[in-house]
Chain A
Amino acid sequence: MTLNVKTPHSSETLENERTKATFSIEEMDRFINGDEFVALREKLLAIMRSEPDIFDQKSNYFMARTEKMEKALKQEKRAIELFREGRLKFEEIPMLFNMLDWHSPYHFARGIPGAIEVQGTKEQAEVFAKPVRNLRALGCYAQTEMGHGSNVQGIETTATFIEETDEFEINSPTLTSTKWWIGSLGVVANFAFVMAQLIIKGKRLGAFPIIVPIRSTEDHQPLPGITVGDIGPKMGFPTMDNGFLRFDKVRVPRFNLLQRFINVSRNGTVTVPSDVNPKIVYSALVSARAHLINDMGIQLAKGVTVATRYTAIRRQFGEPGKFESPVLDYDIVQYRLIPLIAKAYTTIGMNHEFDRKYKLTMEDVKRDDFTTLQEMHAITCSLKKWTSDTTVYGIDTCRHLCGGHGYSIFSGLNEFFSSTYQNIIWEGDNFVLAKQTASYLVKSAFAISRKEKADSNDSINIVRKFMNIDPRIALEKLYSWSEMSAEQIANNESVLLDMLGIRLWHLVHKLVVKVYRDGQKWDESSVASQGIATAHSEYIVCLYFGRHINQLPQNSNLRPILLQLLRVTAISGLLRNTGDLFMLPKKAKITENLITGLETEYMKAIKSVRGQAVPLVDALRIPDEKLNSSLGKYDGNVYEDYMKRALDEPLNRKGSGEEIRKRFYKNYIERTLKDGLDQKSSKL
């Protein structure tokens, strides 16, 4: 019986785990998160900790939606004061809210200046964007409609040119044309960046952006012809005022149509400027996805921090006469959790290389050079899918690993899961994005097979390599694993990259055959596209993460564990659907034995990381403020904190809680217990 054994306190267990670290936590933090990020994080935490009455988040879990919204607005107000005092930069405010682990209702308003600068002329940027940069005007991005999402050309809102008055008339002709989901619209914004069908002289010209004032700058009341409101509660994002918006023939000056890509003259003549390339708009989509990819690593880091610390101290079963074992000691727990730690590191680590490439592409675009944009588009599509899928379902696994207590709001993982979820849907649904990446790879591979021109970059070169046409390499060299044991392969990241590469090539090759030989329609290829996009991102994240690790000196004490994490990510990808490996050509010598061997090596690699699990999540340095979790607290005082939070539940509070309970009892419970009874019975 375990009853008589005094189990060590959870904080003691956690301290013990920390003594096992084989590397410096500080160095790891700086290397994986980057110096710039570390400095910003510390600056923001100092602000939050110095003003707890505004920034303390512990009580949020008991608040109604409008209370949460109000609290976030209060925090935003303070942030703007700090911004005006010069203590915070405009672009630092989102990270402040990231550390607070929710969103400001101004979040989407902050994206508006950028959108105006892409679509508008210099003059328009000066008039419309600048006030928002100073947070003197608040905009929102009104594209999606109740009945229309991904297909921008299908939107119904119209902007009709009225030559008599030199105005546009904005109108919502149907119920389904109501603008919907618009962030920062429900209560905040006073103007909207509206995507509308441009109609001039009876001719439809497609969807274009136009600036429409929606609330009075005096008293914030909706302007005439405007119907606006909040769309109601959602799965997550409680602080965000996603809203709806309808226009009843609202007039705005012609100047409000953003005219960088289209000019409308006084008499309604439409011209398209010859000096701008419409691909710039396309680069805006790439930017939005790149930001999302940037954000995913830190979110998954929160999930694994909570789950790792908690499973390290939670005890269950064990040998008689001993303490129960920490659940993290069970293989099935490690099997689910350790690869997520590896993927959190991979996502954050690869992002440095990704961000570098992304910035180079954006520089090129500014110089009107669009050669690298296509691959960047393919990469952002597949990485957006992979990082968001991995993060959202990774957080879900972390919650499940925490057992019953994962289900409590105080785990910190539930509202968090809900508010991270939409990343798989917005900025292009993940299932739709996969087709874009697959199409780029398949078309390029087909071109190569016909000896036509194709791009030369990380994505295409690996496919080209295994097509092995020109130059042709000897097979034993091409198949770098062919003379190796599973153990040797599992410990060699460059061979693992090759294996991820041949698998990608083969999936692409199969679809090339189906599309170009068998005439399968692209639409019918959407199922096969999913596997291609995933295989592509698994190759790219490992390639990029490897490059980042290679910046470390050979003798760095960070290297061994980081390489091990990279290998775990790589093997996890390889074994995701072993059918993809079995299917490879026989000459590649990826045999059943080898696959089974890799499965064994995978488990070995996972187990080898177990000892470093707590130091690894410590080094990600997610502060207790962002965790907002009883289970993941740095000091390991899990159960004490949990009890304290439970006692703070409104139903339990002195006074107010007693009132509620008394009401429940009098109105319902007492009636259940006593109605229809003769007085004498029942006294237990």
Chain B
Amino acid sequence: MDSVSTQVTLAKERDNATFDPNLMDLFINGEAWVNTRGKAIDFVRQESETFDMSDIYFLSREGELNKILKQEKRVAELIKQGKLGNEDALAITYIQDASGPYRLHRSMFMPTLERQATEEQKKVFLEKARNYEIIGCYAQTEMGHGSNVRGLETTATYIQETDEFEVDSPTLTSTKWWIGGLGVAATHACVMAQLIIKNKNYGVYPIVVPIRSTVDHKPLPGVSVGDHGPKMGFNTVDNGFVNFDKVRVPRFNLLQRYITVDNQGNVTIPSDVDPRVTYSTMVFVRSGIVNNMGKELSKAVTIAVRYTSVRRQFGDDPNKPENPVLDYPIVQYRLIPLVAKTYMMLGMSHEFYANYERCRMAIEKNNDFSLLKEMHAVSCGLKKWCSDTTIYGVDTCRHVCGGHGFSLFSGLNTAFANLYPNIIWEGDNFVLAQQTARYILKVAENSMNSSPIESDDPTSQIFKKFKYDLPKRKISNNKLWNSEITPQTVVSNEQLLLNILAYKVAHQAYTLATKINVDKQSWNDSLVAVQILSTVYSEYMLCHYFYKHLGKLSQFNKPGSDKLASPLSTLMKIGALGFLLRNTGELYDLPEETGISNHKIIDGLETEYLNLIKSARKIAVPLVDALGIPDEKLNSSLGRYDGNVYEDYMTRALSEPLNREKMGDELREQIFKRYIEPVTKHAKL
């Protein structure tokens, strides 16, 4: 049996490209990111002695922390010297595929100060934070309290005699927990605590509490602090706990942009502050997750596509090489839609981000909050959708790599474990779906009540387009589609696909709103439908924003850009069709006059879907190449750009501590002498 080298196989796959991968990279990732990413790659390659991550899989927790702290120190040094910005630090974290103990200092501590501190407080805290003279963390969640912020138990009580706050942890469950950067690094914590002044509880506010000495980094009096131990992933971050035993801080340390306390204990809430501002912070954080997920799934699909193209298994002719497993329909069926979803998330993020910026500017410039509600609903829905898709997409990528996916050298196990908290933090996905659905139902309800829909956001557009006839309990449009419905017309027309997806949203929203409002179905009984509604809506939004980004292709005046249209359109169709067919029950459930809810069309669409997947198979390798993920981030034997899969795999295995010269020899000798020999000796063969 002949075999073909993996490098040759991969090179041949690259010959199938119908477009320029570099140009595609520029279009789908955007020029700004391509540049920032390039700068970060150059940087870690130049300083590879500090930044090389190939040995990470063998390190103990302590070893991992030591390595990442060394890198954090170097990055902070360059930030102080003005040679790197925060954006660069983020890009470096991305390339390294690991976060460090200073991550939350940058992503939570400083942004909270920016938003919630007065100008005077910024001078004291923020300037030092920017200069890394203090390292902060954001201490909100407690051992016994997560999503329900109002249930936090930590107190900050005003002591008028000394003009101080006394911060206290009254119970075991009030111990601050999960706080990134707290375990070994932070000098300060921004603590969320119940504010108690003259026996009155004002609710939860942030207060800056020094926790470790700036002289010798020892915990300050009254502060019990530590790392809370190993986790599923994220072990390069020192998530920690802290317990306060009546710790005093000056009144000044309460962040006072949204509440002011004077030295008599008088509380004023500034009148020009809209409480919705805090709400916009959550939108900000979730939008960050939405924008990142595509970049993370990119890593996984790159590994899986490259590896399944070179991995061979079975074949019809014993005299020929076995077939690449990517040639098998069941592998394509699991993997190609993930490539499509990766592209859709990346494309969507540009438009979504632009919309987010519009919303933020309206708030900051004109105190105009009109766009916030929809933004909130979309960001909740997409946060859930993107994180679910990415985490379980990484899992599928691992599974299609077969046994070798289970090795740490696949690069997919640490990725899965590190990405996993995205489905939990910043609002658990199941809870967020409910927020999204509530908003959609509200819009649907308004539309049913014939209240004019004034806003022109993408959500309103759905309900403006599809009106509801309540007595007949169906969407009332006479003519639903501009073209006849056949499997072929549906797959050849992106606009029609979008309309069907929008119709599905409207249909489900109206139906559920009617059940709740008219038939008085309880919210609890609606929970499953609510989860589905949020999913269907997010699928539509993803397609909507991605399609909008595809519209920019015509302005993307670069030689060869015309070649990008066809693969991108195929990916969009695979994505959209996959959403329609996710549970065909939802299609059968549509009214007959849609022309879609019958076997003939649905069976036909299933066939078209498989055909589209097959057609994308040919350009799968160029498509993942175009995602521009460097080998450093992949950190994977299976996904290497050059296809030297098995050589690299063997090299890594040989550096396993058990195999190393001397150290490994001693380990094995010890194992033999202590355990194996005493058992097998006196062999009576």
Contact = CB atoms under 8 A, between A and B. Distances in A.
A230 B229 contact: no
Nearest to A186: B658
A335 B667 CA distance: 49
Contacts of A404: 141, 146, 177-178, 421, 424-425
A74 interface: yes
B14 interface: no
Interface string A413-430: 010001001101110010
A411 to B, nearest CB: 8
B166 interface: no
Interface stretch (A300-308, A455-463, A668-676): A668-676
A600 interface: yes
Given A404-B178, A579-B588, A651-B183, A244 B653 contact: yes
Interface stretch (B84-92, B129-137, B275-283, B542-550): B129-137
A646 interface: yes
Contacts of B134: 673, 682, 684
Given A154-B322, A220-B676, A579 B587 contact: yes
Interface stretch (B63-71, B345-353, B481-489): B63-71
Nearest to B678: A77
Most A CB within 10 A of own CB, among B398, B421, B682, B683: B683
Contact of A671 (B73, B184, B330, B399): B73
A138 B408 CA distance: 27
A577 B150 CA distance: 39
Contacts of A663: 66
Given A425-B399, A652-B226, A229 B658 contact: yes
Interface in A615-660: 639-640, 642-643, 645-652, 660
A34 to B, nearest CB: 31
Contacts of A314: 144
B657 interface: yes
Contacts of A368: none
- Dominant SS among interface residues on chain A: helix
Contact of A668 (B72, B150, B314): B72
B593 interface: no
A646 B226 contact: yes
Given A316-B148, A582-B589, A664-B69, A144 B650 contact: no
Interface in A171-194: 174-176, 178, 181, 186-188, 190
A134 to B, nearest CB: 7
Contacts of B70: 667-668
A664 B424 CA distance: 30
Contacts of B675: 70, 73-74, 76-77
A131 B683 CA distance: 8
A37 interface: no
Interface in B596-631: 599, 602, 610
B524 A229 contact: no
B517 interface: no
B399 A315 contact: no
Given A220-B672, A669-B185, A176 B3 contact: yes
Given A316-B151, A672-B76, A660 B407 contact: no
Contact of B413 (A153, A235, A241, A335): A235
B135 A229 contact: no
Interface string A578-603: 11111100000000100100011001
A454 interface: no
A282 interface: no
B326 interface: no
Contact of A136 (B399, B402, B584, B684): B684
B51 interface: no
B676 A188 contact: yes
Interface residues of B, number: 135
B73 A668 contact: yes
B1 A154 contact: yes
B32 interface: no
Contact of B527 (A186, A332, A579): A332
A400 B148 contact: no
Given A136-B684, A431-B330, A650 B128 contact: no
A149 B403 contact: yes
A278 to B, nearest CB: 19
Most B CB within 10 A of own CB, among A424, A645, A648, A684: A684
A350 B434 CA distance: 36
Contacts of B229: 61-62, 408-410, 645-646, 648-649
Given A66-B657, A592-B589, A187 B668 contact: yes
Given A235-B413, A523-B328, A643 B172 contact: yes
B409 interface: yes
Interface string B331-349: 0011000000000000000
Contacts of B423: 400
A263 to B, nearest CB: 24
A649 B312 contact: no
A672 B186 CA distance: 11
A646 B182 CA distance: 14
Interface residues of A, number: 128
B420 A650 contact: no
Contact of B147 (A316, A422, A640, A667): A316
Interface string B637-652: 0000000001101101
Interface stretch (B54-62, B107-115, B448-456, B493-501): B54-62
B676 A324 contact: no
Contact of B217 (A77, A241, A335, A665): A665
Contacts of A174: 3
A317 interface: yes
Contact of B144 (A70, A74, A154, A315): A315
Nearest to B670: A70
A665 B602 CA distance: 63
B175 to A, nearest CB: 7
Contacts of B683: 131, 136-137, 217
B587 A681 contact: no
A673 B424 CA distance: 32
B637 to A, nearest CB: 10
Given A235-B406, A335-B528, A595-B585, A135 B144 contact: no
Contacts of B524: 331
A407 B233 CA distance: 8
Given A175-B650, A523-B329, A665-B216, 6 more contacts: A150-B402, A231-B653, A407-B233, A650-B62, A672-B76, A683-B214
Interface of B: 1, 3, 57-58, 60-62, 65-66, 69-70, 72-73, 76-77, 80-81, 102, 124, 128, 132-135, 141, 143-148, 150-151, 153, 172-173, 175, 177-178, 183-185, 187-188, 194, 201, 210, 214, 216-217, 226-234, 238, 241, 311-315, 318, 322, 328-330, 333-334, 398-399, 402-403, 405-409, 413, 417, 420-421, 423-425, 428, 430, 434, 524-525, 527-528, 531, 583-589, 599, 602, 610, 646-647, 649-650, 652-659, 667-668, 670-672, 674-680, 682-685
14 contacts: A147-B312, A154-B312, A187-B672, A314-B144, A316-B148, A317-B148, A579-B587, A582-B585, A582-B589, A646-B241, A669-B69, A672-B77, A681-B133, A684-B210
Q: Give the 10 A-B residue pairs with the shortest CB-CB distance, closest first.
A: A579-B584, A578-B585, A582-B588, A526-B330, A232-B656, A649-B229, A73-B675, A414-B232, A652-B226, A668-B69
